[in-house]
Structure 1
Amino acid sequence: MRKIIGIFTMLGFLFSSSSHAEANLDELLNHELRRLHANETVNLRSHFEGKPLLFVNTASHCGFTGQFEGLEALHQRYKDQGLMVAGFPSNSFRQEASDEEETARVCFFNFGVTFDMFSPMDVRGDSAHPIFAELARQTRAPKWNFYKYLIDREGNVVEVFPSTTRPDSAQVRRAIERLLEG
């Protein structure tokens, strides 16, 4: 009898774990977002599902804006191993350009960004986009621009790096490499 109860308990755990992971993926990826300064819309689930992710809230006029360089370097270094980097411009801290054309110029022209960049959104508080509401639910809301969320293939945040942690730091690279090996 104990074996049977143990088996049912194990099965319940497995099913609840998979439904929990599915809920995380739904909250993170069941969205259609417009690319930065473009008419193209991206279905995040079809674009990102099953891939390790690095989501970053960005700003064009911030002391950390230079981190675009390091983010692009991460993208180039790990894209062939499956890592997808995505930037989400935000004026939640009042340091984003007033129009998308300027934001796009900073990202694409000034820093040569080739990773996915999406149209601006709120990342904190009651008006936070559901993606950032889910990131906050799993970990914490960004306290400033350039918070970096490393997300596994199931939609679980495995590491959060604050603005002060540079994308090219050994700490970030080690975490990405652990995720890619797993």
Structure 2
Amino acid sequence: MPPQIGRFISEAVYDDLLKSNLLHPVTDERMACHFINIPTQEQLHETSWKNPGECQTILRIATMLQAKNKQFRIITPYDAQRSLIEEGLKLGKLDWENKCFNVDSFQGNEEDYIVISLVRSAALGFLADLRRTNVMLTRCKKGMIICTSQRFMKRAGRKSLVGSLLKYYEHKWIEKDELEKIAL
């Protein structure tokens, strides 16, 4: 993973014992991690959660990444969201096979760019699980794009590992209508 993310994970999860590869090709702040503000609401779907607003933005990001021939995967904690995104990829005639995963099924894998759909907008849910959230945040080789609500991250989300990552970088948000600002 990029050393910028590795440093944070080392401090937050591994008592600063994890060492980053100093020869990693991504050594500046240009694409280590972007937070996209998507002020939409989660929806309960049977026993899972989905967020159609996040899905639409993720499809736009997937279109951008695919157009630039970037290697990417999409990760989400919830199967209802994974299914929604996968269906959107198919309908949009984008690459969809082996593209979108729930966190548990992606453990042990990695990709150049990881797009994360957090889904939740009211309660932590999955994000309360440090181990699983750590897996989600450590899958990228070049960069990570996290889609969530800024309002959620200021409230419940601030108590999660993702919230700590946001604070660690004192990150500036990119609005969903300004995706062209993502430096790839």
Structure-1-length-normalised TM-score: 0.37
Structure-2-length-normalised TM-score: 0.37
Identify, as 1 or 2, the structure richer in strand.
2
